[in-house]
């Protein structure tokens, strides 16, 4: 009954039914299923594909994908799946890194971490079990405020093209955003970002004054040449998905390749005949 109620509350229930059928049965090519959103974690598919596409347009052979907040590891495993599929399409090689303490959520610092919704110890990781399943991802374990500082020197990653931020807390998101303080060549000029904890339910009641939304606003206020902007190309679509509202793009405005042309070459418009 719960699923039926949820379906009836959908703006486009028939589309949702077809979408789910295509996802479960793997109907059509991977590219077609991305376009339809008929795929597990479509926000990951979108981030991986567009990171790979931009890297290829810039002449880069490798690009990195990051997940902050690995927890049980299902997201990281899904990220590996999308990386393999997109690599087949674009010929770009992906490096994948998952950041987590392994011990679950820390103690909330104050009201900005929404302690009415989250408890210390939520989302612990079974590290040996997850490592046994991963095929290409690297786990970066430890306190985020420390691992973001040592990450580039220790791992020498390819330029970063997609980052998922799923760390729940304001304080943890602030620490994760420290990732963007390395030299510009460590990133693509525009990095697709997904912030999981920005919509929620009537329990979380996320606002611009707590949690990840506050961390994003403060980041923009304190960085002149690095800006997190909503993905308006997604929000302008006739049919929107919830994850469209959780998608941002990190613009490195002074990146040496920010202005490099990556558009279509055939953009001349002819006058229509009478």
The answer to whether residues 247 and 212 touch, using CB atoms and an 8 Å cutoff, is no
Residue 226 in tokens: 């690095």
- Which residues have a Cβ under 8 Å from the Cβ of 130 and sit 6 or more positions away? 70, 72, 73, 76, 139
| Residue 270 is assigned to a structural domain of this protein | no
The verdict on 135 and 247 lying in the same domain is: yes
Query: What is the maximal distance between C-alpha atoms in the chain?
Result: 70
The answer to whether residues 83 and 123 touch, using CB atoms and an 8 Å cutoff, is no
The verdict on 23 and 122 lying in the same domain is: no
For range 104-133, the mean pLDDT:
95
The pLDDT of residue 12 is 63
pLDDT category, 16, cuts 50, 70, 90?
low
Render 216-274 in DSSP notation, one character per residue: HHHHHHT-SSEEEEE-HHHHTSSS--GGGGGEEEEEETT-TTTTS--S-S----PPPP-
Q: What residues does 251 pair with on adjacent strands?
A: 190, 227
- Which residues have a Cβ under 8 Å from the Cβ of 59 and sit 6 or more positions away? none
| Rounded distance between C-alpha atoms, residue 172 and residue 33, angstroms | 33
For range 62-86, the mean pLDDT:
97
The verdict on 130 and 223 lying in the same domain is: yes
Residue 8 in tokens: 């009836």
The gap between the terminal CA atoms of the chain, to the nearest Å, is: 58
119-172 pLDDT tens trace: 999 999 999 999 999 999 999 999 999 999 999 999 999 999 999 999 999 999
| Residue 33 is assigned to a structural domain of this protein | yes
pLDDT category, 7, cuts 50, 70, 90?
very low
CATH number for the domain harbouring residue 199:
3.40.50.150
The verdict on 48 and 28 lying in the same domain is: no
For residue 11, the enclosing domain spans 7-39
The answer on pLDDT for 204 being more than 80 is yes
The pLDDT of residue 207 is 96
The answer to whether residues 212 and 195 touch, using CB atoms and an 8 Å cutoff, is yes
Render 24-64 in DSSP notation, one character per residue: HHT-S-HHHHHHHT-SSSHHHHHHHHHHHHHHHHTT-SEEE
| Residue 1 is assigned to a structural domain of this protein | no
The verdict on 29 and 85 lying in the same domain is: no
């Amino acid at each position: 009954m719960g699923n039926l109620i949820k379906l009836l509350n959908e703006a486009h229930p028939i589309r949702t039914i077809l979408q789910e059928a295509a996802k479960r049965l793997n109907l059509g090519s991977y590219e077609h299923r991305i376009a339809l959103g008929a795929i597990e974690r479509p926000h990951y598919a979108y981030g991986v594909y567009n990171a790979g596409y931009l890297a290829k347009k810039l002449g880069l052979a490798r690009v990195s994908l990051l997940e902050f907040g690995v927890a049980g590891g299902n997201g990281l495993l899904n990220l590996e799946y999308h990386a393999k599929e997109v690599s087949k399409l674009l010929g770009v090689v992906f490096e994948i890194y998952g950041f987590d303490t392994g011990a679950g959520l820390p103690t909330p610092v104050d009201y900005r971490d929404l302690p009415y919704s989250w408890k210390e110890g939520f989302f612990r990781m079974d590290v040996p079990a997850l490592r046994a399943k991963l095929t290409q991802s690297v786990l970066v374990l430890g306190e985020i405020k420390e691992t973001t500082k040592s990450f580039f020197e220790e791992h020498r990653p390819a330029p970063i093209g997609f980052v998922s931020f799923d760390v729940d807390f304001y304080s943890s998101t602030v620490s994760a955003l420290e990732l963007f303080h390395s030299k510009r060549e460590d990133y693509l000029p525009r990095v697709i970002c997904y912030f999981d904890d920005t919509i929620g339910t009537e329990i979380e009641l996320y606002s611009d004054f707590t949690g990840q939304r506050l961390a994003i606003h403060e980041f923009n206020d304190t960085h002149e040449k690095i800006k997190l902007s909503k993905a308006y190309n997604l929000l302008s679509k006739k049919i929107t998905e919830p994850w469209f509202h959780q998608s941002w793009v990190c613009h490195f405005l002074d990146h040496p390749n920010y202005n490099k042309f990556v558009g279509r070459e055939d953009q001349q418009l002819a006058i229509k005949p009478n």
